[in-house]
Structure 1
């Protein structure tokens, strides 16, 4: 027993750390969020770094299992699914149908532009990597993170100063493009692992688009719509109460990702589609109105996730000259991504997006592109499909597997740090 208590980074410490952080944050949340304009994302990450192996060495998730990637993948999957389902539920009735044109214009060209530009600079800054490897890394950094997005646009200052239509558009965009990162990643990986480009493109179309994306959306929509009809029926029969509606909030999100991930489809898009479908006619929203349980669950999951990320970040890999990774290259890459990933395309396209009224809102929307849970999830998913790297890497696939997470983790860390300034009065265009 004493040996267990003395064991550094025991998994049981996670409960103490998470519980203590949530209790402490709850006691000063109003001061921190509304006066200091800092949300649980930044504080959770900082606390994770402090408790992690590079500081106090109390909380080290990498020591819990030999397959850290699998653990990380499932933690990020659950948190993302809950966040995406929540966004789908909280959007107004039939929002996706009414704003499909704006979302299509905002999501697809912006993602494609950022993907290609980021890949080009990855190739330029890390000369050992091929352009195809750059595309794989850029695919992980393409989506806007829905968890950080929700924490920012849902804040009191954003509610007061950012127009409602723009906040809804940014939330819907962050949910849509998170699942659409799959095709960008899959074409990169197929081009890396397949023997011919023809085979890679064929698999990308059949598996990346038809099986993963389209089937995932269809499955999520069917599940969401089916459960909404079943709940209406059971309510009419007097079989379900208000609290059970709120329970469906958590249960359906988990059920949806379980079904779609088992089938190998896009579980993130499926979760968002299920949330949108279950609230399509507004009935589910009416039944769960003023219920705070889902918000509490979101807060606890977000705190746990970002504490995990803070402890998980591989600081020791940010300087690996033998792999071509140096701090100055990482810093330059991050700055380029912040400036060029979203701002130029949105400044060019905003006139075709009615929800964005002027160039200042377009600039705000372009700068608003946090990278976080989604980027870590996609990069970890990529590692499960790549060859395990030797030391030193023997080919381009192994080199990509070796440098993917350090590059993505550095960009995510910097993105989390600067995104707290979205809530500062001096940084908003309104």
Structure 2
């Protein structure tokens, strides 16, 4: 007799698979039409399916009823997501980006990050009753780094392509990747002082001198510098090995495309074993791995990496929605809910925005005050904050006396848990809704006016794109079926000729519904079967319109990139951006291909 097997494994697979499938059906509508991030939507789904609601996701059962096991699972899951995200962030940056842009990046992860830490710590100290300053500094350090997962909402997709200049996108990616790993010095500065000079420490512990020695030697030397060197070495070796394997036709396309993901897993595992900074090592390794731009350009038009990225994002934020201590926001012994709400608002307003405004003139990627406000406001708190939260709890557990916390640390674990989780949730919600609400508030009247005018316009086929501030190089036009060259001319773009400076894609052949098709990340996917005039891409230089391209790269950049010699590049892999094989190359390929 068949029995219904409602085991935890079956339930979690059903819930996760069902949610990813359902979200996938409307993902383009949510992300590219309503500008809602998958992080916010998945967080809400996690809350709805958590023990507080439908009780389909039961994290405490998966942790065998132990809060310590649940914390360990959440920390490991966060490490995995951050590691993969930061390798991909490093791969996204152009050739030698960290070397070329070290000055603005150093300003962002140096003085500005330190100011963010101190501002947040002072706010926590002022609003959490009875909390010592050192404890507030530990809590403030957890929410100091900007989150690379949530930052993706302003550096990927149609909104970013239309409204955020490319150079600004790159510096945001670089900052969110670098400052995640550099959160360790701020955190352990406070934790070492708590351990050695806190009111519960003993005189024989060594005091501030030992604390500073450990901070410089262990945190900066072993954790930070070792991770930078290790990440650079692993990234360079991986690049050279992949070059060698690809030149000798030892690697197939699938393994080639997934190489960056496997590299992230390797670094997270090995750095975890030696106790170094796996987050920073992953970012450095990703950037060194594509130091010559080879891997980035070869995988530019492939969707595997963004797909893995999306699956991890959906999974981690569903998990956060289920494990978040929602009841402790109302019922805790450290901070009343009114002060907690005030703290969340003030942190989002004062943690980052004033310091970016003060220093934006020295950051060349920020052109004006409007962009400075944009960059200053969008400094989200998310996965990295939860990661450092559980690092803090793990460290505090080592200071227990027997089975009890040290006398001066009884309230700190609950304080850091409640405050960091609440600020992270506030950031996910506020930053997840800022773009759609801003678009609705500022552009709804203009959209209605434009719609009314279009009924009497001589150009009824033209659909103007949403635009905020500066236009960027990946600007494209969407057309309704039947729209011809006159629509392009009406928008200031002639058929086959771009009149806007820096525009690489001048016209886009509509799909069956009349829209240009965007891949994940916002670039246009052309129809590769079109081979004649009036095809997908009309390029200024008169090159073959059937070649696949991306809004991120022009012909000059592709032409300058060194390729292997030989009629087909000497490679076993053929990528979509390559021209078709000639008859002689096809014959040669058939001759060496085993039957």
Q: Same fold (TM over 0.5)?
A: yes
1:52-71 alignment runs, 5 A limit: 52-65=50-63, 66=66, 67-71=69-73
Cα distance, 1:328 vs structure 2: 0.9
Q: In the aligned structure 1, how far is the partner of 2:56 from the partner of 2:433? A: 29
Question: Which of 398, 419, 435 pairs up with 1:423?
Answer: 435
Tell me if the contact between 1:152 and 1:422 (Cα under 8 Å) persists in the aligned partners: no
Q: Secondary structure at the match of 1:318?
A: helix
Determine the C-alpha separation between the residues in 2 that align with 1:286 and 1:360.
Answer: 32
Aligned to 2:419: 407
The structure 2 residue matched to 1:43, chosen from 37, 41, 61, is 41
Which of 20, 27, 30 is the aligned partner of 2:28?
A: 30
Q: State the structure with bigger RCO (CA 8 A, min sep 6), 1 or 2.
A: 1
Which residue is 1:113 aligned to? 115
Q: Is the 8 A contact 1:144 1:370 kept in 2?
A: yes
Q: How does 1:314-333 map to 2 (within 5 A)?
A: 314-321=325-332, 323-333=333-343
Partner of 2:310: 299
What SS class does the counterpart of residue 129 from structure 2 fall into? coil
In structure 1, the partner of 2:368 is 358
Q: Deviations over 1:222-271 (max 9, x none)?
A: 10000100111112222113322112121100001111111111100000
- Aligned-residue offset at 1:283: 1.3
Aligned residues: 426
Say which SS state the counterpart of residue 385 (structure 1) adopts: helix
Cα distance in 1 between the residues matched to 2:469 and 2:177:
23
2:244 is the alignment partner of 1:226 = no
- Corresponding position of 1:344: 354
More deviation, 251-260/382-391:
382-391
TM alignment of 1:40-189, pairs within 5 A: 40-65=38-63, 66=66, 67-189=69-191
In the other structure, the counterpart of 2:393 is 383
Q: Write the deviation string for residues 32-80 of structure 1: whole angstroms up to 9, x where unpaired.
A: 1122221211100000000011111111213311211110011000011
Query: Hey, what does 2:211 align to over in structure 1?
Result: 200
Report if aligned partners of 1:193, 1:397 keep a CA contact under 8 Å in 2: no
- Compute the TM-score of the two structures, normalised by the length of structure 1: 0.95
The answer to whether the 8 A contact 1:13-1:58 is kept is: yes
- Asked if the contact 1:228/1:279 (under 8 Å) is kept, the reply is yes
Q: Distance in 2 between matches of 1:64 and 1:264?
A: 26
For normalisation by structure 2, the TM-score amounts to 0.69
Deviations 1:273-326 (A, max 9, x none): 1100100001112332322111111111110000000001101111235x2222
1:167-214 deviation line (CA, Å, top 9, x unaligned): 111111111111111111111111111241111111011111111011
Determine the C-alpha separation between the residues in 2 that align with 1:120 and 1:77.
28
**Contact 1:115–1:341, Cα closer than 8 Å, also in 2:** yes
Give me the whole-angstrom Cα distance separating, in 2, the residues matched to 1:168 and 1:422.
21
Residue 248 of structure 2 corresponds to which residue in structure 1?
237
Measured after TM superposition, the shift of residue 351 of structure 1 is 0.9
Shift of 1:3: 8.3
CA RMSD of superposed structures (Å)? 1.9
Listed as ranges, the matches of 1:253-268 within 5 Å are: 253-268=264-279
Q: Which residue of 2 aligns with 1:212?
A: 223
| Structure 2 unaligned spans of 5+ | 197-204, 443-467, 471-595
C-alpha distance in 1, partners of 2:87/2:108? Answer: 20
Counterpart secondary structure, 1:206: helix
Instruction: State how far apart, in whole Å, the 2-side matches of 1:397 and 1:219 are.
Output: 35
1:47/1:310 contact within 8 Å kept: yes
